[in-house]
């Protein structure tokens, strides 16, 4: 086989490998983004309001948020306006009521904060 013919055979083969290699390389990214898909509005949600003292640190609120959001059932955490303070904070935790419960949210918060008090009864599951 002449070198010129060998080059013609390698070029399409190389193009096919690059094309399929690129497609196969996107699968992990698609799987990684799976957890970040928005939850449809019609999925039932409920809210728990808590009064708590966080463990003192410069980033106490962020630490609490990041740890609580590890539970995929947590939908939203809303803080009072006292940013930068760790003691006597009010927080509302909205969660997917089919994925977790008010008791589980309270148990998680109790592990993460120095003091936790339910400031109002858990709301009925509702669309928010």
Q: What is the pLDDT of residues 23-77, one digit of tens each?
A: 555 555 555 566 677 888 899 999 999 999 999 999 999 999 999 999 999 999 9
Whether residue 99 is found in the same domain as residue 52: yes
- 66 in any annotated domain: yes
Instruction: Detail the DSSP E strand segments found in the chain.
Output: 45-54, 74-79, 89-96, 113-120
Do 30 and 51 lie in a common domain? no
Using alpha carbons, select from 96, 87, 94, 95 the residue that is nearest to residue 116. Answer: 87
Residue 40 in any domain: the answer is no
- 127 in a domain, yes or no? no
Domain hosting 89: range is 45-120
pTM: 0.67
Residue 126 lies in a domain: no
The first and second tokens of residue 3, run together, are: 């070198």
């Amino acid at each position: 086989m002449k070198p010129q013919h060998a080059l013609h055979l390698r070029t399409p083969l190389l193009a096919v490998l690059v094309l399929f290699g690129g497609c196969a390389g996107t699968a992990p990214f698609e799987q990684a983004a799976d957890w970040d898909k928005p939850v449809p509005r019609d999925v039932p949600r409920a809210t728990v309001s808590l009064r708590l003292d966080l463990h003192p640190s410069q980033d106490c609120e962020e630490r609490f948020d990041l740890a609580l959001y590890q539970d995929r059932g947590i939908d939203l955490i809303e803080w009072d306006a006292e940013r930068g303070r760790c003691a006597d904070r009010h927080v509302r935790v909205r969660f997917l009521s089919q994925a977790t419960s008010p008791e589980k949210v309270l148990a998680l918060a109790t592990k993460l904060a120095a003091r936790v008090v339910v400031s109002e009864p858990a709301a009925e599951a509702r669309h928010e």
